[in-house]
Each structure stands twice: as C-alpha cells, then as structure tokens.
Structure 1
Amino acid sequence: MAATVLSEALAPWVLVLALSGAVAWRATEAVLPTIGWGLLIALTSSILPMGVIVWGARTGRWDSHHVRNREGRLVPFLTLIVLSGVGLALLLVFGAPRMLVALDVAMLACLLVTGAITVRWKVSMHAAVAAGAVVILAVAYGPAAWAGAVAVAAVGWSRVRLGDHTLAQVLAGTVAGAVIGGGAFALLV
C-alpha cells in the first residue's frame, strides 16, 4: 500500500508539475509570471503528455498509466519529446527567463537519454525525474533542497517493491536524472 501511494504521489508527471511552479517562482519571484511560465511548462511537459498516456492506457494501447511494458514506451516518449520541444520553442519565442529555458532543456536532455536507454532496457523514469528534480531544486534554491534525496530513495524503493523495476533500473534512472537533467540545468543557469 505505501509503495503504491509513493509511486503515485511522486510520479514523474506530479513532480514535473510541482517543479515547473517552483522553478518559475525562483526565476520570477512574482505571482502572475510564475503562474504563466509555470503553467506553460506544466502543460507541455506534464499535463498534456500525461493526458496522452492515460488515453493510451484506457484504450488498451499500453498496460497502464505507468507504461510498464518497455516496448510500449515509444509513443509516450515521443509525445513528451514533441510537446516539451513545443514548450521550449514557446519559452524562447516569448522571452522566458533563462532559468526556465534551462529547466525545459534539462528535462528534454534527460528524456532523450533515458529514452535511448529504454530502447534496450527499462530505466526508471520515476527515479530519473525525482533525482533530477532534487538537483535542480538544489541549484535553484540552495543546499536545503538536498533533503529531497529522501524522496528519491522512497520513489526508488516503491518502484522496486511494486516489481516495476529492478534495483539496477532505479539506480540507472537516479544517475541519469541527477547527472543529465540536474547537470544540464546547472550548466545552463
């Protein structure tokens, strides 16, 4: 039960939703720009892609909203890449703060790497997003955000406990998220 709750409450789409708002706030420190920029990133990198995933699960295109079957992850990955790319283009066209562009680029970079790995092996996207989010928040807000590592460990535990990933897949996702996602963000801000 706890593993299911953790896996759902700290799912990638939920974390990206929260991360979009948190980074938008740090970048603008104003309510309306935070809402506007955060919503743009949340729509293109979380809400709309999750809508496609839920639609696919409900119509039987893949096994569930977690897309447990590695082969079934191609369409969700491509959807995320395309929609995040659209989001990035809109951020650039409308002159978004650098930190928000860095966030979108970091998420896209991580998605491309984890997608490439998933062609052969099912890396944990839950772990990748959680680890990347902690590094991004630490860069944006400071060392106190490292406390989020506890959530990364909890997410990893939940994915293994539920039988959705092996420990190696969770560790690979954690490293990819921290190094690629978090690293790209740190380099770009």
Structure 2
Amino acid sequence: MTGKPSRAGSLRRVLLVVGGVVAVAAAVVVSLAFLADSSSDLEKEKNCCWSEGATPAWVSRVTGLKIPVEASDVRVGYHSGSRYDTALMAFTLPDKKADEYLAQLTPEGSKMIENTNPREKDYSPAVGFAHLGIPEPETLVEGTRMGNVCRGDVDTPDGKKIQYCAKLFAHRFTTGSTRIFTRTGIEPSLTPPPAKPKA
C-alpha cells in the first residue's frame, strides 16, 4: 500500500536540493575567485620587474647572441622572474643578412620551421614582446620561421658564444626586411646595470 510522502521526507528532499545548489554556487564563486587571482597575478607579472638598465650591448653580452652592425630598430628587455629571468631582443635586418645571421645559429642538419600552428592574435604571455611595442612572434604566420638554439648546439663563431637556450623567430614583415626575435631564459642570478639617471 502506497501512502503520501511524509512531511519529514519532503523536507529532507528540499534540504538536499538546497544544499546541492549552495554547494555548486560556492564552487563557482571559488573558481571565479581563483581565475581572478590568476589573471591578476599574470597582469602583475607583465607589468612588474622589467629592468630599465638592460641595454642592447648588455643583453647581447649576457645571452651571447650577437646584434649585427647592420641591425636597425634594435629593442631589448630584461624581465626578472621568481623561477627564471627572461631576456628579449628584437632587431631588423635586410633579408640576406637575416638569413646569414640565422644560419650561424642553426644546428647542422636542421632548419627553422614555419609557424603552422600560430597563437591567437590576442595571445599575451607574461614576458612578451608587447613590452617592446611589437607583436608576439608566435601570432605571426606569413613569412615567419621558428627555431631553438642552446649552448653547445652550433659549432660556428657566433654559435660558440651562446650562453643559454634561446627561442629564435624570424618574420619577413615587408619586402626586403626581416625582424629577428630572440627569447632567452636565464637563471635569476644576474643583475642588469642600473638605469642611467634621466637628464
């Protein structure tokens, strides 16, 4: 014989449903707070800890990556991080000079590859070239090549000077001109020279 549900049973079910809704809502709030904190931390890292004293000559010497005399529009940045520091360098070369430069940094038997899997246009890494006022090379497709080089990889005059591992990008952004990008990870033990006092 089936009777009507007891008031206690109905109340129990209502409490379970309400409890479930509250638990889900709490989980959503915690998740949103975590995402907000992560986003805030990323923004802080992007805007923090860039050294004003990192000159092209200093970054080149520390990384071992030469800046050719023919280079124009030279831009550098040095970011101090909690786990490692990052040195950024970018400059423009005539196409032929860019190819010669990259050949010195490409291990024998390998070659730079095209960027067939680009990042979205709004890609914004914590340590990005946007700080230098130029696009992130990972977002560029047409005329873009990528590669890596580490100390000991290349037995060329320029290759022997490399001190750390670096990501290399080359972007032929206009007829006759290629922009070279380098991103080098460095143990956080170096201190860039102090920024020159403003006149």
Q: Scaled by the length of structure 2, what TM-score is found? A: 0.22
**More strand per residue: 1 or 2?**
2
**More helix per residue: 1 or 2?**
1
Which has the larger Rg? 2
